[in-house]
Amino acid sequence: MKPYKTILLSLLILPLPLLLGSCEKEEEIENTRWVLVWSDEFDTPTPDNRPDPSKWTYEKGASGYGNQELQNYTDRVENASYTTHKGLGCLKITALNDNYDGIAYSSARIKTEGLFEQRYGRFEARLKLPYGPGLWPAFWMLGANYATNVWPKCGEIDIMENKGYQPNIVSSALHFPGHSGGNPITQTFGYEDQRFDTDFHVFAVEWDESKIDFFVDNVLYKRVKAADVTDGEWIFDHPFFIILNVAVGGTFGGNPTADTVFPQSMYVDYVRVYQKSTEVQPGTNTGDISSNGSIPGWDFNGPDSDKGLIEPELK
């Protein structure tokens, strides 16, 4: 069982470390009291061992999703199931090379659409990523009005994406009119001596009417302010829903190679959503994750100009 209590975020100044390109700017984190309003801890399996249907639904099919992806998304327990990993109750999203329904690869993409959607707050997940060329794990959100405001007018918040051949690098992005497809507002974050596929890490976004902040392991590494967007239309003012998936192939990180080993899984320890205490209705749950901390920086424009491509034996 994972503990809960209300969290109070301290007022502090953090550098924006570990970025592609050096950045000397410092950003201030507000003194914000967050209250947990929704979560899935994945501690108690459902009877069929699939994601809780009161919280998650599935995207299904093999359309390529506009990115030339190769997988067939299914609702099978083989692709999304409860498990225990490193002693923790988790959800496991698994990409397989199994030729299901005549498609070489299968995987899962689960979402809270129609079940939970929220405007503003802190959204976070504790994840352990898969590894290998052609794998594309992601934790992201899509505007709930996408049926009437077609992408990118609905907005997209990519909290975490990873190119499977770069196990120590993740990125975030915002897609909206003026910045979409190959031109989002994006930022990369990485570790010099840690990997995202060998242990769990916390990925989060804090979003309000004026800005969106991105965190890895409670380190603020990117802030996008609405006032600074002068070459696009800031549309992040309506509810979004959460998506977790592992894509195979596509335009982001390329396709699998002979070196890609299957199956590959993304383990999800929890997903939690908070609101500011001043905006929460009485009787909500509470949580305990803090948005502070710091780690050493790494200059991606230095000798390692491959932007973090490292060998599998690095632990």
pLDDT for the residue 25: 54
Ranges of residues in the chain whose predicted pLDDT is under 70: 1-27, 31, 281-315
Cβ(211)–Cβ(199) below 8 Å:
no
pLDDT for the residue 299: 36
pLDDT for the residue 21: 39
pLDDT for the residue 313: 39
Closest CA to 232 of 183, 266, 277, 198: 183
Q: Counting Cβ atoms within 10 Å, is residue 295 exposed (0-12), middle (13-18) or buried (19+)?
A: middle
Tokens found for residue 68:
């030339």
Q: Is 226 helix (H, G, I), strand (E, B) or coil?
A: helix
pLDDT for the residue 19: 53
Closest CA to 288 of 202, 191, 212: 202
Tokens found for residue 117:
């959607």
Active site residues: 156, 161
Q: Cα(310)–Cα(242) distance, rounded to whole angstroms?
A: 30
Q: Cα(64)–Cα(62) distance, rounded to whole angstroms?
A: 6
pLDDT for the residue 282: 57
Cβ(144)–Cβ(238) below 8 Å:
yes
Token pair 């405001």 is at which residue? 149
Indicate the fold that domain 7-279 takes in CATH.
Jelly Rolls (2.60.120)
pLDDT for the residue 257: 97
| Cα 237-141-125 angle, rounded to 5 deg | 120
Cβ(65)–Cβ(245) below 8 Å:
no
pLDDT for the residue 297: 36
- Parallel, antiparallel, or unpaired: how do β-strands 57-59 and 211-216 relate? unpaired
Residues 6+ apart with CB under 8 A from 311: none
Listed by start position, the domains of the chain span 7-279
Cβ(171)–Cβ(205) below 8 Å:
no
pLDDT for the residue 314: 35
Q: Cα(131)–Cα(261) distance, rounded to whole angstroms?
A: 8
**Which amino acid does the sequence have at 201?**
H
pLDDT for the residue 280: 73
Tokens found for residue 65:
């999703």
pLDDT for the residue 181: 87
Closest CA to 285 of 3, 36, 33, 40: 36
Q: How many residues does the chain have?
A: 315
